[in-house]
Structure 1
Amino acid sequence: MRLQNVEFFLLFLFLFKYSNALRDTCPIGCKCDEDIQQVTCEGQQVVTLPDRLPSGYEILIIRNSSVRTIEKNSFRKMEKLVQIEFENNPNLGTVEKLAFKGLKKIRLIKFTGCPGLTELQKNAFSGIQNQVGLKIVFEKTPIHRIEGHTFRNAQNIRELTISGEELALSRHCFANINQLDFLTVSGVVLIEPEIFTNSTRFHVVHFKNSQFDIPPQTFSSLSHTSHLLIEHSKVPSIAPDAFSGLTTIQVIELHACQLGTISARAFANVENLGELKILRNTIGDLDTSESIMSKALKTRMEENTLECNCGMKWMTSVEEMSDINFCSTTASFRSIRSFVKAKCLHNTSQKTQRKSNHLPSISGVSRGFSPSILLISITILLRFRDFRI
């Protein structure tokens, strides 16, 4: 009996050591660098992600592979991973929901040169549960669409950078994010309303190098944000209530953009706004003085070049605006105040006179003719009456 126990113990010890040896073996098709604790899986022969890594390894690089899909729970046995990078993987096209679930120590997830990855699906980056600041970066990866709730319940994200291509942002695409320090998005061509529903504690939200209209309530529910910046972009129209629903925002800034029409009340209904900055833009049209109306403690509208017309006359009532915003190149970049003095007063009187000449009412006729002409007309009428008699 004792002999059997000894044999059983020896068998158990052998299996334990064998399993440990397997666990510490580098995955097939990969190279393991013990000095930097990095596993690199490279080459077209790599068609799937490894299901495990040697114990203690913290970095996984997938490079030039034939991997097509990052499946659900792909890293469930790699809880110690700190960094995952996908480099030059032309066949990678899908990130399934909960793909990165359970990576509590992860600090970087990066996609570089993955041309087949054009869409981010719902819940693809949910369930990560990271305990430290996480960077998620897309470079040279032409994301065309981000579906709603792609980052649902994501937390403690240090940086989310998406360099898309003809990128469409679906409703709720950045919804339900608990904390995100720096969001940078470029290449946007479409933004649907309410992309930030139930998201809080964003430090900087930065859109750049894009071309999109801003519909009503685009940023609704976004709160406790330091800086909302739209920069170096073409924005054909900013709708009424485009920024409504924002709460506790330190700065909203439009900088160095080509703006089409800023509608009346575009910045209305922003609660607890510190500063509205409209700087160094080219602006096609401001509907009314309400186009820049907000509840901001401070408004700066400076060094903008506008397509000037007589509708800009209202800006002369605000001295700093009329002196530091300019007319387009046809007016040689004169200030708004100079443009109004030189053109609008004269043109307005001529326009009024032309309009009055076409009014059919008696009052309109009396305004359109001089007293002498009116007297001659009456005399002709009286003579015509006498002739008939």
Structure 2
Amino acid sequence: MFKTPTTLGLLIILKYSSQCLPPSFDNVLITVNEKDEKISGCITPDTLKFKGEVAKISAVNQNIPDLNRGAVRDISTKFNIDFSRNNIDIIREEAFLNLSGLEQIDLSKNNIIWIGENAFVNLPTLRLLDLAYNKISVSSRAFNNLPELRVIDLSDNNLDSFDQSWFYRTPRLDSISFRLNRLRSIPRAAFINLPSIEYLYFHSNKIEDIHPDAFKGLRNLRLLVISENRVKSFEINFHTPSELGAVGIQFNNITYISDKMLEMIRPNLRSFWITGNPWQCGCFDKLINWSIKNRVTISFVCLQYEYVCVYPKTNPYQCLEREDADFYNGFSNNFGNETKCKPHWSK
């Protein structure tokens, strides 16, 4: 039967669009709604043996080096993806393509070293993205045009820096975890383009410097955890009136906190975790009295802890901003050892 050029062209386009070049899966065992099957090429309604309404697709403990363009595509139902523990190295542009109902992606515990620009673009219902326990480098706008994204976990990835440009057109993003990375600073206006942020986790990094205006523009910030770092000063310009309900600054090198800082965080604060810092005894007493007066639960000591504060060389009973020279040598040696006391906050 004769085919017009237009019809023939359409058939070629449709055939090409249904293929995965290069393929992402090679005889990989996946589970669709708790039913196992093998898949090669890419995951689409046409390549799946399962023909019902997809709720979850899992591939765990498999060998999937790369997720190429269209690795998972053209599924319209509400569903989640679990691709954890698969030795994935690279996620390329549009790896998740035309998935109008995708709500969660778990890519934790792989070996991801690169996430390309637009790797997760145009996923209109994606709410949660778990990239913890990888080796990630992130390109600009890797998380682009995700209107419903609420939570992203970048824990334990050896990141030494971050850029808010990674998150482009993510107007509802409210929680980011950077725990267990190698961040050394939080720069000025680090989240100015992400005003919906409510929860930030920076614990277990190498942060020494936090710019006073690091959290400028975050009017809804409710939880901030910067524990287990190397921070010496906690003098930050939070939005007022502050919405902060909990702040964790355990196991740093903080000796002093100003009355201005306490007044700034006071309005909605309920929990303030301060264990493991070499507080001046005058500042420590001030914190305790302030917490009682304002009904703030303050964590400052564990049963194994012998020391809770230090006396400076001069004016030892006053809470003053001081230089290291005003303290005795080794004044911080009995502090900052997280093995002595488990932090009281949890993610």
TM range (shorter): 0.5 to 0.7
Which digits, 9 at most, give the CA deviation of each residue in 1:23-80, with x for residues without a partner?
A: xxxxx9799999x7946117xxx5x34772467624xxxxxxxxxxxxxxxxxxxxx5
Partner of 1:221: 193
CA positional deviation for 1:238: 4.1
Partner of 1:243: 215
Q: TM-score, normalised by structure 1?
A: 0.56
CA distance in 2 between counterparts of 1:347 and 1:297 reads 27
Aligned with 1:302 (options 273, 287, 290)? 273
- Aligned: 1:87 with 2:56: no
- Paired residues of 2:91 and 2:116 also in contact (CA < 8 A): yes
Q: Secondary structure of the residue that 2:229 maps to in structure 1? A: strand
CA distance in 2 between counterparts of 1:261 and 1:101 reads 45
Aligned with 2:83 (options 105, 111, 114)? 111
> What percent of counterpart residues are identical?
14
- Aligned: 1:57 with 2:51: yes
CA positional deviation for 1:185: 2.9
The higher-RCO structure (CA 8 Å, 6+ apart) is 2
CA positional deviation for 1:175: 4.3
Partner of 1:167: 136
Partner of 1:283: 252
CA positional deviation for 1:137: 0.6
CA distance in 1 between counterparts of 2:148 and 2:282 reads 44
- Aligned: 1:156 with 2:131: no
- Paired residues of 1:265 and 1:292 also in contact (CA < 8 A): no
CA distance in 1 between counterparts of 2:282 and 2:298 reads 14
Q: Name the CA shift for 1:297/1:197 in 2 (closer, same or farther; >3 Å).
A: farther
User: Does 239-248 or 286-295 show the bigger shift?
Assistant: 286-295
Larger radius of gyration: 1
Q: Secondary structure of the residue that 1:245 maps to in structure 2? A: coil
Which digits, 9 at most, give the CA deviation of each residue in 1:105-139, with x for residues without a partner?
A: 14122213321x22333443464222xx6220123
CA positional deviation for 1:104: 1.6
Partner of 1:258: 228
Aligned with 1:202 (options 173, 189, 205)? 173
**Superposed counterparts of 1:355-366, under 5 Å:** none
- Paired residues of 2:30 and 2:59 also in contact (CA < 8 A): no
Q: Secondary structure of the residue that 2:315 maps to in structure 1? A: helix
Aligned with 1:188 (options 157, 160, 172)? 157
Partner of 2:106: 137
Q: Secondary structure of the residue that 1:139 maps to in structure 2? A: coil
CA positional deviation for 1:102: 3.1
Partner of 1:382: none
CA positional deviation for 1:171: 4.5
Amino acid at match of 1:87: V
CA distance in 2 between counterparts of 1:304 and 1:281 reads 5
**How many residues are matched?**
283
CA distance in 2 between counterparts of 1:308 and 1:203 reads 32
5+ residue gaps, structure 2, are: 1-25, 327-347
CA distance in 2 between counterparts of 1:119 and 1:38 reads 27
Which digits, 9 at most, give the CA deviation of each residue in 1:146-183, with x for residues without a partner?
A: 34443333332243222233334455443432113443
Partner of 1:177: 146
Which digits, 9 at most, give the CA deviation of each residue in 1:9-33, with x for residues without a partner?
A: xxxxxxxxxxxxxxxxxxx979999
Which digits, 9 at most, give the CA deviation of each residue in 1:262-292, with x for residues without a partner?
A: 55654x2547741153336101246874777
Q: Name the CA shift for 1:111/1:313 in 2 (closer, same or farther; >3 Å).
A: same
Q: Secondary structure of the residue that 1:320 maps to in structure 2? A: helix
Partner of 1:120: 91
- Paired residues of 1:265 and 1:293 also in contact (CA < 8 A): no
**Superposed counterparts of 1:296-375, under 5 Å:** 297-299=267-269, 300-308=271-279, 319-320=289-290, 332-334=306-308, 336=309, 339-340=310-311, 343-345=313-315
Q: Secondary structure of the residue that 1:274 maps to in structure 2? A: coil
Q: Name the CA shift for 1:260/1:347 in 2 (closer, same or farther; >3 Å).
A: same
- Paired residues of 1:196 and 1:219 also in contact (CA < 8 A): no
Amino acid at match of 2:167: F
Partner of 1:274: 243
Which digits, 9 at most, give the CA deviation of each residue in 1:190-238, with x for residues without a partner?
A: 232214343222354334343423432333322334x414265234234
- Paired residues of 1:274 and 1:296 also in contact (CA < 8 A): no
